[in-house]
Amino acid sequence: MKFVCTLCGDCCRASPVSLLPHEDVILRELAETLELPYKSYNGYYMYDRVSGYNLAFSYVMDLVDGKCPFLSGNLCRIQNIYKPFICRSFPYIPRQVKYNIDSYNRVVYATVEYGLSLMCPVIKKDRSVLEKYSELNPGILSEYMPYEYDAANEMERIRSLFLALLSTLWRLGVVELEPGRPGAPVYNLYLFLTRHYPDLPHILKVDQVTKRLAELKAYE
């Protein structure tokens, strides 16, 4: 038994989309290029006393008229340009993301709990079988949905990379972190980190997306 997406489009209409910080930058530029409406707001943030900014660790893209702005019919318009990790991993998604501050060791880390979304009709159909065999085979999800499972792991690898780089800056005294400060200006963590790690766009393959965007603009 393998998970096969039916392209129903339900996941693109159900709720706002959680994004890693670099994904908000990418999607905003994509929307501008394609002349599509785009609305997002920051999620969790921590305050940096040195810069005076709340550093945003995540973003949420709002639906527009009840659907993802990049949805065309039941298909994704940016499938071959850049698809957010949470869309790639769906219906295996984070149920809870908790960011933690270890002030003594100057480390920021995340604990993430994943689960299957019953919003997906395929999961509703396969649920009883998955529950039956999950105790016998804890690794059943990696076999049932290998692409989505790998996407979730990659999402967490990148989340951990962001936090590891920020923690390094903290230990070097470049930043001084504390819980978020309401009212302070918000700065995208990815953009902040690129000031100190100029190779980050290449590491995250953002430069490849930028190239595709340039080609798209030239084509139009």
Look at residue 214 in the predicted model and tell me its pLDDT. Answer: 80
- What Å distances lie between residue 35 and 12, 28, 29, 173, CA to CA? 19, 10, 10, 41
Is residue 77 assigned to a domain?
Answer: yes
Look at residue 20 in the predicted model and tell me its pLDDT. Answer: 98
Residue with tokens 């920021």: 108
Quote the CA–CA distance of 90 and 68 in Å, as a whole number.
14
* Contact assessment for residue 133 and residue 144, using Cβ atoms and an 8 Å cutoff: no
Is residue 1 assigned to a domain?
Answer: no
CA-CA-CA-CA dihedral for 75, 78, 82, 85, to nearest 10: -30
Is residue 57 assigned to a domain?
Answer: yes
Quote the CA–CA distance of 171 and 192 in Å, as a whole number.
16
The tally of domains found in the chain comes to 1
Q: Place 38 in a pLDDT band, splitting at 50, 70 and 90.
A: very high
Is residue 3 assigned to a domain?
Answer: no
- What Å distances lie between residue 53 and 162, 178, 183, CA to CA? 16, 11, 10
* Structural domain containing residue 94: 10-219
Is the bond into 91 cis (omega within 30 degrees of 0)? yes
Residue 218: how many other CB atoms lie within 10 Å: 7
Is residue 5 assigned to a domain?
Answer: no
- What Å distances lie between residue 96 and 18, 105, 176, CA to CA? 11, 24, 26
Is residue 93 assigned to a domain?
Answer: yes
Is residue 129 assigned to a domain?
Answer: yes
Is residue 119 assigned to a domain?
Answer: yes
CA-CA-CA-CA dihedral for 64, 68, 73, 79, to nearest 10: 150
Two tokens, residue 210: 């930028």
Look at residue 215 in the predicted model and tell me its pLDDT. Answer: 80
**Residue of 141, 94, 93 whose CA lies nearest to 120:** 93
pLDDT in tens, 168-186: 999 999 999 999 999 999 9
pLDDT in tens, 108-133: 999 999 999 999 999 999 888 887 76
**Residue of 107, 125, 106 whose CA lies nearest to 116:** 125
pLDDT in tens, 153-168: 999 999 999 999 999 9
